[in-house]
Structure 1
Amino acid sequence: MATMRAVDIKGGKGPIENMFINADMPRPKVDHAKALVKVKAFGLNRMDLMQREGVYPLPPQAPATMGVEFSGIIEEVATEAEKGFKKGDAVFGLAYGGAYAEYIAVSTHMLMHKPDALSWEQCAGIPEVWITATQALYLIGEFEPGKSVLWHAGASGVSIAGQQLSKGNGASKLFATARSDDKCDFCVKELGADAAFNTESTNWAQEVLKATDGKGVDIIVDFIGPATFAGNLECIARDGRIVNLASLSGMKLKPEMAQPDFGNFFRKRCRVEGSGLRSRDETYQGKLRDSLHDHALPKFVDGSFKVLIEKTFDWEQIQEAHRLMESNKTKGKIICTIP
């Protein structure tokens, strides 16, 4: 049996210290429409922390190895692989898991060719956050030029992508929230937000209403959950869309949190919809890949859109990379490379 090195977890789950590089992991095989890719770089995402701790519900097709985005070189393609992909192609893409490894088997429907103008590290930081942002903004949020958008957790990877997408595609107003003034300044100065509000020191919902002359915003993309639920209902515009992608403040409303006025549902005719990307089928993810390829990839190449990388690690430093992600101090992607 062919083997490879991959990041493993002692006992299957646990703290950062349980992670190690296992030199005797089975190399994946390709079938159907898959390609075997030799990984050059992979991106970290917050779901990886939850998976490591054993609290992330994996889709049935996901391998135990962490990591959903990567860049690398195709080693082999299966007989049903999408036309246009062949051995030796430089690619990047999204997977259900398995990117923290020397090799990954992934559907060619979720691969894109790597532009020469972008590095391996940049390409490894695109798929998960940019496809998630595209899904939230367009498929669920029903964004059109002229609509206003609020992105919570403004310095997170998905919101960094989302703010660039919103600004670059004609949002009338762009807002963000974050938990520090430094991150708020980053959203305004680096990403082009019209304003960003510190959720720890301001009544951000009231500030959004002031900035929109009382109308509110047309689309809110939220990762926080209970702690922002009441504020979202307060500052969403009539017929607005609230897209919930995560619940970082827990799973239930707590007494100390602002309590929602459910009358806003009726008065504003707003819609709240939750979504996740990893559990979607290949066909759905393939459509998102095509949308990203058509609408965003040219802007990466010409420099209009930027992949902001906080820090790059050698994958032997995977524990240090996870510590940095857990610190919540980043303003961009964390990338690991495999020499």
Structure 2
Amino acid sequence: MDLPDVMTAIEISQPGGPEVLVPVTRPVPIPAAGELLVRVAAAGVNRPDVLQRRGFYPPPPGASDIPGLEIAGTVVAAGEGATHHIGTRVTALIAGGGYAEYAIAPAATALPVPDGLSMAEAAALPETLFTVWVNLFERGFASEGDWVLVHGGTSGIGTMAISLCRLLGVKAIVTCGSDEKCAAALGLGAAAAVNYKTQDFVEEVKRLTGGAGANVILDMVGGDYLPRNLSCLADDGRHVSIATQRGVTAELNILDVMRRRLTLTGSTLRPRPIGFKGLVAEELRREIWPFVDSGQLRPVMDRTFPLAQAGAAHARMESGAHVGKIVLLASEA
């Protein structure tokens, strides 16, 4: 297959607002051993991309400086040991480089795109699916019948959490910033939705669970939410932190943690080694991909933008108006 030498990619010209995302010409990357070169059809937009653009989340060593952590497209070349066939449609979790016409993906994190799933939908899956699976179900041990509290119920993470909870028999309580978003979350299958601007989520969680509290809390807020979260966490409950939008420090009562046998944990995904991400991909292929194949699991889509309008996509995310995933379209599927 004849490949071009150069491609269009979106570069962060300097730390700043959405306007610093500019189209540039870059060399088409060459896959190393265990890697795939993917002609990108679509790339998901995520909160870490916004943080990277602002200068707060640099790529890990060896990763591309181009933003974009998830892609879908067609394999056009493969490095030594990569097992995917040329022409295969894949979606993949990557450590950077997604906002481009071509991107490198580890073969270990690539999953097949089934018939009936659009490339835009496929690109909207990996980052949230890997994140929710690892944190809510592996670190948080959410299981059938549990009550879980998820903040940011209409974000990409929140909507994926709702979907997985619905499929796996877990009861999801989510927080949202408006009655309209609460209604959207309920329509997606949340057991309950709390407007955090007009309701006290602590009291609502206690009411909904008959005073017992949530078995697991997936928190992307941090800061002063931590003590509030713990006050509505059930005995033996698990609190999983995945972001710190309201700050990185909090005060808590250690005796309360001890007395109620609470577990506080958390993780970041991007810097984890390929071996770990590959193991997660295999778990998802076995446990969750059948739901994708059957059409039972689809990402909640907000809006798509052409690759060149990456700045507008970031502005959409930062406005907080989106429900579900924002995706860039790099080429025809």
* TM-score computed with the length of structure 1 as normaliser: 0.93
Partner of residue 263, structure 2 = 271
Partner of residue 229, structure 1 = 226
Partner of residue 64, structure 1 = 65
Runs of 4+ in structure 1 over 6 Å off: none
Q: Deviations over 1:1-45 (max 9, x none)?
A: 93221001224x32211221102x122111110011111110100
Pairing 1:212-227 to 2, within 5 Å after superposition? 212-227=209-224
**Deviation of the 1:260 alpha carbon:** 4.3
Distance 1:92 1:104 in 2: 11
Q: 2:293 aligns with which of 294, 301, 310?
A: 301
Q: Deviations over 1:171-224 (max 9, x none)?
A: 2x321111222111211122x222111122211111101111111111110000
Distance 2:254 2:228 in 1: 11
1:138 aligns with 2:137: yes
Q: Deviations over 1:115-142 (max 9, x none)?
A: 1110010000000001101011221001
Distance 1:68 1:149 in 2: 26
The letter for the 1-side match of 2:300 is L
Partner of residue 87, structure 2 = 88
**Deviation of the 1:261 alpha carbon:** 4.2
Distance 1:174 1:157 in 2: 15
* TM-score computed with the length of structure 2 as normaliser: 0.95
Identity percentage over the alignment?
32
Q: Deviations over 1:141-175 (max 9, x none)?
A: 0122222211111111111111111121122x321
The letter for the 2-side match of 1:242 is H
The letter for the 2-side match of 1:235 is C
Greater Cα offset, 303-312 or 68-77: 303-312
The letter for the 2-side match of 1:75 is V
Tell me, yes or no, if the aligned pair for 2:151 and 2:174 is still in contact at 8 Å: yes
- Structure 1 stretches lacking a partner, 5+ long: 254-258
**Deviation of the 1:231 alpha carbon:** 1.4
The letter for the 1-side match of 2:234 is A
Pairing 1:142-221 to 2, within 5 Å after superposition? 142-171=141-170, 173-190=171-188, 192-221=189-218
Distance 1:330 1:134 in 2: 22
The letter for the 2-side match of 1:292 is L
Instruction: State the SS of the aligned residue for 1:86.
Output: coil
The letter for the 1-side match of 2:264 is V
Distance 2:155 2:62 in 1: 27
Root-mean-square deviation over aligned CA pairs: 1.5
1:16 aligns with 2:18: yes
**Deviation of the 1:306 alpha carbon:** 2.2
Pairing 1:117-128 to 2, within 5 Å after superposition? 117-128=116-127
Aligned residues: 328
Distance 1:131 1:10 in 2: 29
